[in-house]
């Protein structure tokens, strides 16, 4: 039944019922109208309006649900759909909207994949240039400073040694930047070793207690999946250091059924669901890239838990 005929039918039922009551009820209207007759007429009008409003609310309820979904839908949280039963304009509208969401989610996933791949390629290029150009230049400066310090007398030698230490610290910082931009251990030794190195550096620089819980035997993952897991763990630890005001964090990686789950749980002040910033949105983009699900929820006791769940790749 179309929307027009549905609304027309609902009003016809209400008006027909009112007409039948007027025809067969023993109530008459005097001139002038008596108080009891006015009360009966006004009461009947109120009942008729309430019944009409209730029926229209029932008939238009699918449109209300559709409007609510339109205003709250988030393409970074795929799978939000409305059920459409039967025929008519409303059901067809809901099916069309669901199909549009499907296309938008696919296009978003494709565009996000292109952006993330380009971003990783740019990270790799910058890391390579930092390693080859800046790193080698600073190494040459250190060697020159050492030769100059060995040949210089006091107090110039002490000043040169101080410059050496500053240059060495700068070189170490460049190397840390290179590892953050493109973790070579991820390519060479795999995800578990890369996460171990990441958490070790994080604990050393922040002073937080890091507990690692990694399964010893994990299934083989694609290069894209390993990179997404690493980047999500990296961003989660960065958020812990910046915002959580925590004392410790647990990083876990394990297999659950046909999925691999990464969780980063801190004991800090927690996060509100409405406070998702660019970092969490970026993690959702990466999760979408590999078809994974990202959940940011309060931890079981206190703090925040970031949980990334990805299905294992199908064997050919």
Give the pLDDT confidence of 139-150 residue by residue, as tens digits.
Answer: 888 888 888 888
Residue 302 counted as domain residue: yes
Q: What is the reported pTM?
A: 0.65
Identify the pLDDT of residue 25: 66
Model confidence at 273: pLDDT above 60: no
- Asked if residue 303 lies in contact with residue 269, where contact means CB atoms within 8 angstroms, the answer is yes
Q: Is residue 316 part of a domain?
A: yes
- Which pLDDT tens digit goes with each residue over 221-268? 888 888 899 989 999 998 898 888 888 999 999 998 889 999 999 988
Residue 168 within a domain: no
Above 90 in pLDDT, residue 308? yes
> Is 134 contained in some domain?
no
Residue 23 has pLDDT above 70, yes or no: no
Q: Are 252 and 236 in contact (CB under 8 A)?
A: no
pLDDT at 261: 93
Residue 250: predicted pLDDT? 93
Within 8 A by CB and 6+ apart from 305, the residues are 263, 264, 265, 266, 295, 296, 297, 298, 299
DSSP letters of the chain? Answer: --HHHHHHHHHHHHHHHHHHHHHHSS----SSPPHHHHHHHHHHHHHHHHHHHHHHHHHHHHHHHHHHHHHH--TTS--------SSHHHHHHHHHHHHHHHHHHHHHHHHHHHHHHHHHHHHHHHHHHIIIIIIHHHHHHHHHHHHHHHH--TTHHHHHHHHHHHHHHHHHHHHHHHHHHS-HHHHHH-HHHHHHHHHHHHHHHH--EEEEEE-SS-----HHHHHHHHHHHHHHHHHIIIII--SEEEEEEEEETTEEEEEEEE-SS---GGG--HHHHHHHHHHHHTT-EEEEEE-SSSSEEEEEEEEPPPP-
More confident position, 309 or 4: 309
Domain boundary among 82, 106, 130: 106
Q: What tokens were used for 268?
A: 């800090």
Neighbours of 231 (CB within 10 A): 22
- For the segment 294-305, the average pLDDT, to the nearest whole number, is 83
For range 280-292, the mean pLDDT: 86
273 or 243: which leads in pLDDT:
243
Q: Residue 179: how many CA atoms within 13 Å on its side-chain side?
A: 17
Q: What is the mean pLDDT of residues 123-135?
A: 80
Whether 189 and 72 share a structural domain: no
Looking at every residue in the chain, the average pLDDT score rounds to 81
Last residue of one domain, picked from the residues 57, 76, 106:
106
Residues 137, 125: Cα–Cα separation, whole Å:
17
Residue 202 has pLDDT above 80, yes or no: yes
Is position 171 within any domain?
no
Q: Which of 62, 77, 106 is the last residue in one of the domains? A: 106
Confidence of residue 28 (pLDDT cuts 50, 70, 90): low
Q: What is the pLDDT of residues 60-111, one digit of tens each?
A: 777 777 888 888 777 777 777 877 766 667 777 888 888 888 888 788 778 8
**Which is higher by pLDDT, 81 or 52?**
81
Q: Give the pLDDT confidence score for residue 37 in this predicted structure.
A: 66
In this structure, are 298 and 192 located in the same domain? Answer: yes
**Residue 284 sits in a domain of what CATH number?**
3.30.565.10
CB atoms within 10 A of CB 101: 19
How many independent structural domains does the chain possess?
2
Asked whether residue 203 is domain-assigned, the answer is: yes
Which among 311, 288, 306, 181 has a CA at the least distance from the CA of 228?
A: 288
pLDDT for 3 equals 61
Count Cβ neighbours within 10 Å for each residue of 192-216 and write b for 16 or more, e otherwise. Answer: bebbbbbbeebbeebebebeeebee
Residue 130 within a domain: no
The residue that leads in pLDDT, 301 or 219, is: 219
Question: What are the tens digits of pLDDT across the range 6-20?
Answer: 667 777 777 777 777
Judge whether 121 lies within some domain. Answer: no
Tell me if 307 sits within 8 A of 262, measured CB to CB.
Answer: yes
Domain that holds residue 41: 3-106
Average pLDDT of the segment spanning 54-60: 72
Q: Quick check: 62 and 90 in contact, CB under 8 A?
A: yes
pLDDT given at position 2: 62
Residue 162 pLDDT > 80, yes or no?
yes
Are 102 and 213 found together in one domain?
A: no
Residues 196 and 295 in one domain: yes
pLDDT at 292 over 70: yes
State yes or no: pLDDT of 30 exceeds 80: no
pLDDT of 220 strictly over 80: yes
Tokens of 299: 């931890």
């Amino acid at each position: 039944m179309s929307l027009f005929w549905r609304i027309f039918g609902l009003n016809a039922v209400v008006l027909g019922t009112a007409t039948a009551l007027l025809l067969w009820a023993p109530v008459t209207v005097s001139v002038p109208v008596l108080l009891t007759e006015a009360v009966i007429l006004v009461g009947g009008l109120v009942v008729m309006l309430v019944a009409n409003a209730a029926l229209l609310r029932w008939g238009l309820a699918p449109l209300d649900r559709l409007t609510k979904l339109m205003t709250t839908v988030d393409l970074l949280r795929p799978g939000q759909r409305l059920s459409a039963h039967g025929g008519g304009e409303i059901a067809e509208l809901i099916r069309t909207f669901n199909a549009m969401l499907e296309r938008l989610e696919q296009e978003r996933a494709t565009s996000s994949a292109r952006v993330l791949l380009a971003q990783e390629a740019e990270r790799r290029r910058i890391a390579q240039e930092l390693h080859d150009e800046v790193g080698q230049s600073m190494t040459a400066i250190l060697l020159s400073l050492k030769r100059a310090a060995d040949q210089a007398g006091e107090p110039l030698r002490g000043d040169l040694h101080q410059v050496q230490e500053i240059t060495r610290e700068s070189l170490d910082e460049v190397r840390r930047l290179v590892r953050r931009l493109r973790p070579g251990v991820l390519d060479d030794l795999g995800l578990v070793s890369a996460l171990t190195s990441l958490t070790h550096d994080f604990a050393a620089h922040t002073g937080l207690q890091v507990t690692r819980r990694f399964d010893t035997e994990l299934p083989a993952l694609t290069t894209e999946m390993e990179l997404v897991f690493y980047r999500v763990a990296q961003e989660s630890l960065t958020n812990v250091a910046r915002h959580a005001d925590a004392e410790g964090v647990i990083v876990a990686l394990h297999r659950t059924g046909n999925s691999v789950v990464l969780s980063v749980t801190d004991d800090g002040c927690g996060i509100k669901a409405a406070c998702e910033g660019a970092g969490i949105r970026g993690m959702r983009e990466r999760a979408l890239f590999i078809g994974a699900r990202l959940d940011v929820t309060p931890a079981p006791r206190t703090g925040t838990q970031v949980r990334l769940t990805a299905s294992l790749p199908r064997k050919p």
